[in-house]
């Protein structure tokens, strides 16, 4: 078992690196999409709606198959890692957008009007009133999405990426080390996800105070 530990550590590192980029891009994509939806920008709004529905209602695995095996037929070849990051961002973007949109929508209209009445500009209202509250309200959903996305990385082995599942499958297939491989697999995911999950619930507890004007969030 000790002999194979480096394999798992390496695979976990690779998984985490891809998860990091995927989550980063999906946060950015989510923010952009939700702002487009919130301000009802013409043309872009229906496009983002279509994107959100498409990516929320299809499994990541099928998206990856399409990216990795389908697109090369159009002459668009993406590496395994590229596929994994693009796929994860494509999936995550819509989840993050939904999370952030509900945050934006929960900032009451009265708050914006209050800002207007003390003479703030539109950009100032967004910067100082809407965004801080919206972000703090949507943090729990963000955290849930981050954990969800890291879990979703477990399907990357299908695009020939040597992640944790891939290593485990290899060990089972090559050496019949089923018990050890599975135990290590479970342990690796626990080591990755347990701290994040605990940190998320701590963060959530702290941020609950930020919900100003929402007696129900206390």
Q: State the nearest-atom distance from the C-beta of 61 to another protein, in Å.
A: 4
The residue ranges that bind another protein (CB under 8 A) are 53-54, 56-59, 61-63, 65-66, 69-74, 147, 151-155, 157-158, 165, 168-169, 172, 178-179, 182, 185-186, 189-190, 193-194, 197
Which residue number, 120 or 144, has a Cβ lying nearer to another protein? 144
Which residue number, 4 or 65, has a Cβ lying nearer to another protein? 65
Which residue number, 133 or 153, has a Cβ lying nearer to another protein? 153
Which residue number, 37 or 125, has a Cβ lying nearer to another protein? 37
Q: State the nearest-atom distance from the C-beta of 218 to another protein, in Å.
A: 15
Cα-to-chain-centroid distance, residue 94:
9
Q: State the nearest-atom distance from the C-beta of 133 to another protein, in Å.
A: 22
């Amino acid at each position: 078992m000790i002999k194979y530990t480096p394999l798992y550590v390496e695979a976990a590192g690779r998984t985490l690196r891809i998860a990091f980029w995927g989550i980063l891009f999906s946060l950015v994509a989510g923010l952009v999409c939700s702002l487009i939806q919130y301000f009802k920008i013409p043309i872009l709004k229906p496009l983002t709606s279509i994107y959100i529905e498409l990516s929320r209602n299809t499994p990541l695995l099928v998206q990856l198959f399409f990216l990795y095996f389908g697109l090369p037929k159009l002459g668009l070849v993406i590496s395994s890692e590229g596929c994994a990051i693009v796929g994860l961002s494509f999936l995550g973007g819509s989840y993050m957008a939904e999370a952030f949109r509900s945050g934006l929508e929960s900032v009451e209209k009265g708050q914006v009007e209050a800002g207007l009445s003390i003479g703030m500009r539109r950009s100032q209202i967004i910067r100082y009133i809407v965004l801080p509250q919206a972000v703090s309200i949507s943090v729990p959903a963000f955290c849930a999405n981050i954990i969800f996305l890291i879990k979703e990385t477990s399907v990357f082995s299908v695009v020939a990426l040597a992640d944790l599942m891939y290593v485990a499958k290899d060990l089972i297939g090559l050496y019949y080390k089923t018990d050890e491989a599975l135990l290590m697999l479970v342990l690796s995911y626990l080591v990755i996800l347990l701290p994040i999950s605990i940190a998320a619930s701590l963060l959530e507890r702290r941020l609950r105070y930020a919900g100003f004007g929402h007696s129900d969030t206390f």
